[in-house]
Amino acid sequence: MHGSVSYCFGPNGQESPMTTLTAAVPTLRTSTTSAVSVISTTSTTPASVAASTTSAVQTTAVTGCHTQSTNIFCINGSGKEVQVSVSGTPATPLPAQYTDCHSHGTNSFCVDSKGNDVQIIGIDDVATATATATATSTASGEMDCHFHAGVEHCVPVGGSESSTESATVCDAPAIREYNIRLRIGSIFIILVTSGIGVFFPLVLHKLPLVKINGTLFTMIKQFGTGIIISTAFVHLYTHASLMFTNQCLTGINYEATTSAVVMAGLFVAFLVEYTGYRFVLSREKTQSHNAQIVSANHNTITIEADSKSTNAPPPSALQNISHSHSPADFDPNTILAVTIMEAGILFHSILIGLTLIVAPDNSSSSPGYYTTLLAVIVFHQFFEGLALGARIALLPTSTLRFRTRSKVLMASAFTLITPLGMAIGIGVLNEFNGNSRGTILAIAVLDALSAGVLLWVGIVDMWARDWAVVGGEMVEAGGWKVVVGLSSFVVGLVLMSVLGKWA
């Protein structure tokens, strides 16, 4: 009412002066909720407002309907927004208004264009109900927990990952019962599985079965190439991305953070390999230069000896000549590439061990979550061990003091690293908080860096060098070897990608 004149909202949402309502407006039904209130009419006096339990005046229609995100809102008779609760998919196009508003018990409803009832809820009521439900669920300890790359992430029941109420979850670890005996047994299972995977190619390489070894090693090498590339993309890159977008990791607004850290890993791997290559090449040139000096000295000695007698040149001079190295005798990229690859795998494996142990015995979606994850990690470690072991087995052992003992040490490091991570996990089992900012950031950075390192090694040193670089093993291979190698490569890609569904 403005002065002595009453105004009402029409179907188009505009105010219209109503000076008399004697016969024009029928008596309206009384509403007991915030959604629908009643205007009771008299002959010439302004409309009186019936009492409402929660909010303001409401006509028999809500108008000016519009959407916000996935919700529908309209304007009630007092000019305030109300929410329209529609069961199923809203009508398209969205109606501009809902009419014939009425009540059923304590709930308010209006009618859509098809004659169906839709519930009308006051905005204040929605906010109050949501806050009450969230507070109740949080206070009762009801949490919706799920896992990103094996690390637990929880939000209050009825909340969302972006809700402010879930911020408290980021501050304290979830307390639950763990089967310690099962976890201790898991350490030995992973230890044996990793050892078999990485040492099998080393033993196979020593067997005197040249033809069989050639085919098997082609299969294992190319299968391992697929494993390494899939590990980098599906496991590490994807998991790092999940971590960097975790709602508990606040303050990071750069959307390409994961890709930037992966590129840093790529650059580090390239820089180490390039520097190592230049160092070894420089060393080989120095040795070659020294050999030429020895050879010149030897020729001088020989000429002088021939002028005096027919004695042979000193044995020491001949020995220096015979042991001079040329760059073709030693492929520096092989040792460097395998060392870099193992470094990336070790970073990744210690995280695998830690996150496996802190995973719960059961989750809301999987009653046997831990045993399922353990089975997946067993296959993961075995396949990754085969990939690394095949490359270690083919390293030269006749140069730069690189002997069989060095191969055993490299294989042993892979065998022990995941159980070491698992032992650390048992030690911090009740204190580990997968939702803390520091934990998430550490795992995200290490996963992304490891992804970059393995991408460089897998694509450049393994895939490209075998298949696309002149002199590579598969460039001029026979048809059968190409089929076997390519099939094994694809199988490695697919198998490790499938395992990415669980780990």
The pLDDT assigned to 249 comes to 84
List Cβ neighbours of 243 (8 Å cut-off, separation of 6 or more). 148, 149, 151, 249, 440, 441, 443, 444, 447
pLDDT of residue 346: 93
Alpha-carbon Rg for the chain in angstroms? 37
The structure's pTM equals 0.63
Tell me, what's the pLDDT at 125? 58
d(CA 415, CA 193) in angstroms, rounded, equals 8
pLDDT at 333: 53
What pLDDT does 444 receive? Answer: 92
Q: Which residue has the tokens 């590990």?
A: 231
Residue 384 pLDDT: 94
Helix axes 437-455, 257-308, angle to 10 degrees: 40
284's tokens: 């080989």
User: Would you give the distance in Å from CA 196 to the centre of its chain?
Assistant: 28
Q: How far is CA 194 from the centre of its chain?
A: 23
Per-residue tens of pLDDT for the chain, all 503 residues: 555 555 565 555 555 555 443 334 444 443 333 333 333 334 444 444 343 333 334 467 888 888 776 678 888 877 788 888 876 566 667 788 888 888 877 788 888 877 778 888 876 555 554 454 444 444 444 555 555 555 555 555 554 444 444 444 576 666 567 899 999 999 999 999 999 999 999 988 887 765 666 788 899 999 999 999 999 999 999 999 989 988 888 788 899 999 999 999 999 999 998 998 888 788 777 766 666 676 666 555 555 555 555 554 454 443 443 444 444 344 545 788 899 999 999 988 999 999 899 888 876 666 788 898 999 999 999 999 999 999 998 888 765 456 788 899 999 999 999 999 999 999 988 888 888 888 889 999 999 999 999 999 999 999 999 999 888 889 988 999 999 999 999 999 999 999 988 87
b/e burial code for range 81-97 (CB count within 10 A of at least 16 → b): ebbbebeeebeeeebeb
Residue 386: per-residue pLDDT: 94
437/444 Cα distance (integer angstroms): 10
pLDDT of residue 484: 94
Task: Determine the Cα–Cα distance for residues 480 and 490; give it in Å rounded to an integer.
Answer: 16
User: CB count, 10 Å around CB of 190?
Assistant: 25
Residue 95's nearest CA partner among 104, 86, 107 is: 86
pLDDT value, residue 66: 81
